[in-house]
Structure 1
Amino acid sequence: MNEQHTQQVNTTNHLIIDGADAVDLAKTYGTPLIAYDVSAIRQQIRRFKKVFESNHVAYAVSYASKAFATVGMFQLVNQEDAHIDVVSGGELYTAIQADFPMEKISFHGNNKSREELEMAVDHHIGVIILDNFHEIDLLSAILEAKHETVKVMLRLTPGVSAHTHKYDQTGQEDSKFGFDIRSGQAQQALQKVLADTHMDMIGIHAHIGSQIFKVNGFVLAAQKLVDLAADWQTKFNFETRVLNVGGGFGIRYTQEDDPIAPEQFVDAIVKTVQKQVSLRQIKMPAIWIEPGRSIAGPAGYSLYTVGSRKEVPGIRPYVTIDGGMGDNIRPALYEAQYEAVLADRVNAKPEETVRIAGKYCESGDILIQKQALPKSHSGEVLALLATGAYGYSMASNYNRNPRPAVVFVEKGQAKLIVKRESYQDLVSLDCSFV
């Protein structure tokens, strides 16, 4: 276990989450429980902003809300004067309920429905990021019917393949997202948008993938986007006001992960854009980023209660907890790896290596394949680390298990952000057949 986590203990060797005892949180709110370190979220947003400000660049830090989208999270992001991007009508509706400033919202997605686009237009959303020709036509018809205008950007695939899991790659030419540059699709889309008087084309966007550890891909993508901006200014007299380089900055899940600090990715991107803009002699655009995992991920902890134990001679023991793939599908979905500690004995000497198994009726419901721990006992609290991104947001009711509660913890004070689902909640949408 790394030093960062060993320091977060109190005098009784309990895990501490932003000043609160994790064992006490589990007793108060029950398990499974997802607890967020609010100070860590604030600090990461501020570190991103500091990079731009120290480089004297116009910018927006736009939280990629698919990582974790709730009313409370959006309110927290708004307190830090950041933007958000949404990818569905549900995320946009959540932002509306959070009273999030509409002008600070970007709308992504490769198959936005008419209803979703109408919602965005009706609420005067900040910018719609166009993903395909069908969407251009659909939005154009909506805007004409409503006599409205909206700011738009084009999502592009720059032909940069990130060194990450194949399911996390989005910037290569063979992707379901965006307009391909090399084939001429992007230029065709630009001409179509510029000809539409209801659309205000403000910039270009690219997102090359997720959980990326090397800066090279971001630098290459930034170079390509500036080159394209210069080319389009010459050909079409179009000035790129915003260069959105997406997110995907990797975080540490296990000891094998060795990412640089997320803000270092941004500093490299900013300096690359500044250099390329100077070389191409075009006006410096604002730079937008869309971090999600790097803001929410490290700040999240999943707390579980240890239950049964299975011993098989010659095979690692199975230690089962009261959650699993229903609140964290990532290990089963694409072999994502995590680390865990016993929350009430964080620095106790490891005595065995075990599998951490979930309670769901699937052989693949294993949260961690190899975890060194002290000998655990039923009733103890196990904490999975860095689970703040794509855990709750991808949670399900598989096996008719309720989804967990979520709490925000700041300076020792905990606040319930999402209530635990009840069995009644599980059947609330069911209709009788008889």
Structure 2
Amino acid sequence: EMLFLNDNLIHTVKPNTFFKKTNLTRVVLYANRIEKLDLSALTLQPVPDDKELPQFYVGGNPFYCDCHLEWLPRVNQMSYHGVRQYPRVLDLDSVQCRLAHARAGATRPLLDLRPAHFLCPYDSHCFALCHCCDFDACDCEMTCPDNCTCFHDHTWAANVVDCSNGGHTSVPAKIPMDATEIYLDGNQLGELGSHVFIKKKKKKKKKACGVKSAQAAEPDDERDRLYDGYMVYSLQDDELVCRAIAPELEQGGYSMCLHYRDLHLVAGAASYLTDSVLSAADASRRVLVVLSPGLVRGELTRPDFRTALQAAVQQTRLAQRHPCKLIFLLTTDPDALGLDPELRLLLRAGTCILWGDRRFWEKLRYAMPDLAPLRKKKKKKKKKKKKKACGVKSAPVTAGDLKKADGGRGGRGGASARYTAAPTSLDAWYK
């Protein structure tokens, strides 16, 4: 069946519109008035491998390409192996986009855009794991300054603060700490202070992956993360994770955040899922993904879960806090998992460890952040304190000393050396 809906006044395509239309071969939505299009609107009933995917045409529509439409350029890459639930869009090269924030033209060809171009405006935003949003000077709360407009992409890797032509005479206060682009042109700024943009630039560090040495130690802000590891897994692997892997790590001193155990997930809230996964990944020193057939054929077939995982991986790679932060725990050989090219690219972003390997635990502990040096430092500090308190050797007390202390009175009428009053906090030597 072929469905021609071109050159109409259609402005909305509801979710699951084509879901049970199993005989569709072509849908033409060209030249309508569609501005916003959700991925669920193109969701199909799973298409068998021996059947061609339906062909869709969506060009000629005035698409508003904000952060909710970032999936459109890669829609044709979503139909691999067990994820054949989306059509092939054959006219992506003719799609024009209106951008939420565009300083070099408001309309751009879709295929010329990068993920950072798909932006959504925001006034304020607090990440799910942020606990200081009710207080001032909270680094993980994003608040747009007065007379400015702020935008973010779907992963919050891009954070644009545009204060141009805002009538500012000084740099606005409370510019978000994670701002990636700041525009101040068209204002009357008399002078820029020396510390105006301090901490506004993300630091990038490079070091060899897999080399643990004193020079490769993690920075202090990395060691102060809330968790040592955030583990993403399929609900089908809950027993493996919660009864085997996680207990072993937690008994070894690691603080773990488990996806289904510790995150409060809301069913059907895709944006909340992405926000929760990104926050958990950002609060952890390592991100562990248990890659199993259950995850590949289950959660990763859901667009919201797949997008959230890809966003966490992208955020980790862009942050570059630690080049080996991603750890993939494979329950079977990668070839047996039937990974699509997109997932195979993800594997290259981190360390892969095969469950069942005789050196599995050794490799996993090596890939996890090193806790031993921190404990050794604490022990050394305690030992030093003991030496200061107990290491003062006094000269032996002689009879002459006792006489001096007694004032030469032979022990009568004066303080006895044996029964001296207990020291108080007012005594200088006690302090």
The two structures have a TM-score, normalised by structure 1, of 0.24
If you compute each CA radius of gyration, which structure gives the higher value, 1 or 2?
2
TM-score by length of 2: 0.24
Higher strand share: 1
Structure with larger RCO (C-alpha < 8 A, sep 6+) = 1
